[in-house]
Amino acid sequence: MELTEEIKRLCQKKKAIILVHNYQPGEIQDIADFVGDSLELSRKAAETKAEIIIFCGVRFMAETAKILSPDRTVLLPDPEANCPLADMITSEGLKSLKAEHPDALVVSYVNTSAEVKAESDYCCTSANGIKVIDSLPTDRKIIFTPDSNLGRYLIEKTGKDLILWDGYCYVHHQRITLEGVRRAKSLHPEAKILVHPECLMEVIESADAVLSTKGMCEYVKREVADEFIIGTELGIIHRLSKENPTKRFYPVSEEAICESMKLTTLEKLERSLREEIHKIELDPQIVAQARSAIERMLAI
**Binding-site ranges for ligand SF4 (CB under 6 A):** 23, 58, 83-85, 111, 169, 171, 233, 258, 260-261
**111 near ligand CIZ, judged by CB under 6 A:** yes
DSSP conformational letter for 200: -
**29 near ligand CIZ, judged by CB under 6 A:** no
What is the distance between the alpha carbons of residues 116 and 108, in angstroms, rounded to a whole number?
8
Question: Nearest Cα to 67, choosing from 289, 256, 299?
Answer: 289
Residue 126: name its binding partner from ligand CIZ, ligand SF4, none (Cβ under 5 to 8 Å by kind).
ligand CIZ
Residue 213: name its binding partner from ligand CIZ, ligand SF4, none (Cβ under 5 to 8 Å by kind).
ligand CIZ
57 and 24 in contact (C-beta within 8 Å)?
yes
CB of 86 to ligand SF4, least distance (A): 6
Nearer CB in complex with ligand SF4: 111/125? 111
Nearer CB in complex with ligand SF4: 11/171? 171
Three-state secondary-structure class, residue 246: coil
**213 near ligand CIZ, judged by CB under 6 A:** yes
Residue 84: name its binding partner from ligand SF4, ligand CIZ, none (Cβ under 5 to 8 Å by kind).
ligand SF4
**108 near ligand CIZ, judged by CB under 6 A:** no
Question: Nearest Cα to 258, choosing from 62, 58, 124, 109?
Answer: 58
DSSP letter string, 104-130 = -EEEEESSS-HHHHHT-SEEE-TTTHH
Residue 258: name its binding partner from ligand CIZ, ligand SF4, none (Cβ under 5 to 8 Å by kind).
ligand SF4
Burial of 66 (0-12, 13-18, 19+ CB in 10 A): buried
Which stretch, 37-45, 129-137, 143-151, 156-164, contacts ligand CIZ (CB under 6 A)?
A: 37-45
What is the distance between the alpha carbons of residues 206 and 198, in angstroms, rounded to a whole number?
14
State the residues that interact with ligand CIZ by CB under 6 A. 22, 37-39, 110-111, 125-126, 196, 212-214
